[in-house]
Amino acid sequence: GDSVTQMEGPVTLSEEAFLTINCTYTATGYPSLFWYVQYPGEGLQLLLKATKADDKGSNKGFEATYRKETTSFHLEKGSVQVSDSAVYFCALSDLTSGGSYIPTFGRGTSLIVHP
Amino acid sequence: NAGVTQTPKFQVLKTGQSMTLQCAQDMNHNSMYWYRQDPGMGLRLIYYSASEGTTDKGEVPNGYNVSRLNKREFSLRLESAAPSQTSVYFCASSGTGNQPQHFGDGTRLSIL
């Protein structure tokens, strides 16, 4: 079945540091890929997405490129802020044999940014 | 924009009690989902509904039932609560095809 593996956290950075959170996936079909962010006490929110190979999703300074050859979708940001402290989830959505799109999530990576 | 609304936000139950978690969305989405989130486990799918009138089991359905009351509403019922069901429960919805999900703010459920 489909699966998503992302780096374990917590990732601890100083403000203005460069961020990379690794995400790799396995899928039988041609999935869409997503990054979601969860702030304390809230639900997940879509951060960015990519629907086909070589697409780059971007939002709020975050970027991720759909790499089919390496089955990866790593999240990057050039300069993190304290307000970026949150849990980040990598996910894919693929068509099941039953004809439904069921998302598969990674376990989440906690990011802590210090001033 | 309300998006996905979950009620209640917090609940404490005793073992063996029953309760229903409510979820409603106002985005005219076909698909709705229930997840539980536990520390170190990420999100696990309990049940989903691909369209009004259909429901299917996810990864961890035991001990739960669901009802897709109409296109807007998708409820999750615990018939006889157990301490292992202490968790944060999230409802989500999505549009047709490979669309991203929209999540509610969660229900924090403790079972003593």
Q: How many CB atoms lie within 10 A of CB A28?
A: 11
The model's pLDDT over B70-97, given as tens digits with 9 standing for 90+, comes to: 999 999 999 999 999 999 999 999 998 7
Closest CA to B90 of B15, B12, B19, B21: B21
Q: At a CB cut-off of 8 Å and minimum separation 6, what does A32 contact?
A: A49, A50, A51, A92, A93, A94, B98
Put simply, whether A69 touches B (Cβ < 8 Å) is no
Q: Which two tokens stand for residue B111?
A: 């079972």
The model's pLDDT over A71-103, given as tens digits with 9 standing for 90+, comes to: 999 999 999 999 999 999 999 998 877 777 888
pLDDT for the residue A1: 81
Residue A40: asked if its preceding bond is cis (omega within 30°), the reply is: no
Residue A10: asked if its preceding bond is cis (omega within 30°), the reply is: yes
Supply the DSSP string of B58-103, one letter for each residue. -S--TTEEEEE-SSSBEEEEESS--GGG-EEEEEEEE-SSSPPPEE
Closest CA to B60 of B47, B48, B70: B47
Residue to substitute from A105, A107, A110, interface B, most B β-carbons within 10 A: A105
pLDDT confidence of B98, banded at 50, 70, 90?
Answer: confident
Q: List, in sequence order, every residue forming a beta bridge with A5; answer none if it has no partner.
A: A24
The model's pLDDT over A3-52, given as tens digits with 9 standing for 90+, comes to: 999 988 899 999 999 999 999 999 988 899 999 999 998 999 999 999 99
Q: Chain B neighbours among A 17-56 (CB < 8 Å)?
A: 31-32, 34, 36, 41-46, 49, 51
pLDDT for the residue B1: 63
pLDDT for the residue A61: 97
Q: How many CB atoms lie within 10 A of CB A98?
A: 9
Closest CA to B104 of A35, A100, A38, A77: A38
C-alpha angle B27/B78/B37, rounded to 5°?
A: 65
Cβ pair A100:B106 closer than 8 A: no
Q: What are phi and psi of B14, to 5 degrees?
A: -95, 155
Over residues B32-58, the mean pLDDT reads: 92
CA atoms of B44 and A79, how far apart (whole Å): 32
With CA atoms as reference, the chain A residue closest to B47 would be: A102
pLDDT for the residue A84: 97
pLDDT for the residue A9: 87
Residue-averaged pLDDT of chain B:
94
The single-letter code of the amino acid at B35 is Y
Checking if the pLDDT of B18 tops 90, the result is yes
Q: Higher pLDDT residue, A48 or B40?
A: A48
Cβ pair A101:B100 closer than 8 A: no
Put simply, whether B53 touches A (Cβ < 8 Å) is no
pLDDT for the residue A96: 77
Q: Which of A32, A51, A107 sits opposite B41 (nearest CB)?
A: A107
pLDDT for the residue A94: 86
pLDDT confidence of B110, banded at 50, 70, 90?
Answer: very high
Checking if the pLDDT of B2 tops 90, the result is no
Is B83 in contact with B33 (CB distance < 8 Å)?
no
